[in-house]
Structure 1
Amino acid sequence: MRLALGALLLISLNGTAAESPLRFVVPDSWAMPMVQLERGKPIQGILYDVMVSLATQVGVPAEFHVLPRARVQNAMEHGEVDVRCYAAQSWLPNQSGDYIWSIPLWTQPDVLISRKSPLTAVVAANLPPQSIGTVLGYSYPTLQPLFDADRLRREDARNQEQVLEKLLAGRYHYAVSNQWTLDWFNQRLLPDRQLQGVAVLQTQNVGCYVRNDPKVPVQRILRTLLRMKMSGEIDDIIRLYIGSPATL
Structure 2
Amino acid sequence: MFKFLTASFLHVLAICLSLAGSVSHAQPLIIGGYQYPPFMDEKTKDGLYIQLMKSIQAHTKFEFKWVFYPYARLDHLFHQGKVHLEIGSSPAWNINKPTPGLFTDSFYAIEDVTVYASNQYQHIVGKNTKGSQSIGVVRGYQYPIFDQVLAQQAIKKVERSDEDELLQLLINERIHQVFINQQVFEYLRQQNPEYNQLTMGDVVGHYDVAIRVHPDHADLIPILNQAIKQLKVDGTIERLFKRNQQP
Q: Give TM class, smaller chain.
A: 0.7 to 0.9
Counterpart CA distance in 2 for 1:202 and 1:192 is: 22
The residue matched to 2:241 in structure 1 has which SS?
helix
- Asked whether 1:84 is paired with 2:91, we answer no
Give the equivalent residue in structure 2 for 1:122: 123
CA contact (8 A) 1:87 1:206 kept: yes
Of 220, 232, 236, the residue aligned with 1:233 is 236
- Asked whether 1:25 is paired with 2:32, we answer yes
Give the equivalent residue in structure 2 for 1:219: 222
Post-superposition CA distance 1:123-172 (Å, at most 9, x none): 43457412111111222223333323332211111112221232233332
CA contact (8 A) 1:117 1:196 kept: no
Give the equivalent residue in structure 1 for 2:110: 108
* Structure 2: unaligned runs, 5 residues or longer: 1-14
Of 149, 153, 166, the residue aligned with 2:152 is 149
Counterpart CA distance in 2 for 1:189 and 1:174 is: 18
Instruction: State the one-letter code of the partner of 2:139.
Output: L
- CA drift at 1:90: 1.8
- CA drift at 1:113: 1.4
Distance 1:150 1:114, change over 3 A: same
- Asked whether 1:208 is paired with 2:205, we answer no
Matches within 5 A, 1:152-231: 152-188=155-191, 193-211=196-214, 217-231=220-234
Distance 1:20 1:56, change over 3 A: farther
Instruction: State the one-letter code of the partner of 2:87.
Output: C
Give the equivalent residue in structure 2 for 1:6: none
Distance 1:47 1:192, change over 3 A: closer
Higher strand share: 1
Counterpart CA distance in 2 for 1:192 and 1:89 is: 31
* Structure 1: unaligned runs, 5 residues or longer: 1-9
Counterpart CA distance in 2 for 1:142 and 1:99 is: 21
The residue matched to 1:138 in structure 2 has which SS?
coil
Matches within 5 A, 1:55-74: 55-73=57-75
Q: Flag the structure with larger Rg.
A: 2
TM-score when normalising by structure 1: 0.73
CA contact (8 A) 1:102 1:226 kept: no
Distance 1:63 1:169, change over 3 A: same
Distance 1:190 1:58, change over 3 A: same
- Asked whether 1:139 is paired with 2:124, we answer no
Give the equivalent residue in structure 1 for 2:12: none
Instruction: State the one-letter code of the partner of 1:239.
Output: K
Distance 1:77 1:216, change over 3 A: farther
Counterpart CA distance in 2 for 1:98 and 1:149 is: 24
Instruction: State the one-letter code of the partner of 1:172.
Output: I
Q: Percent identity?
A: 18
- CA RMSD in angstroms, aligned pairs only: 3.5
CA contact (8 A) 2:103 2:221 kept: no
Give the equivalent residue in structure 1 for 2:40: 35
Counterpart CA distance in 2 for 1:91 and 1:98 is: 8
CA contact (8 A) 1:22 1:55 kept: no
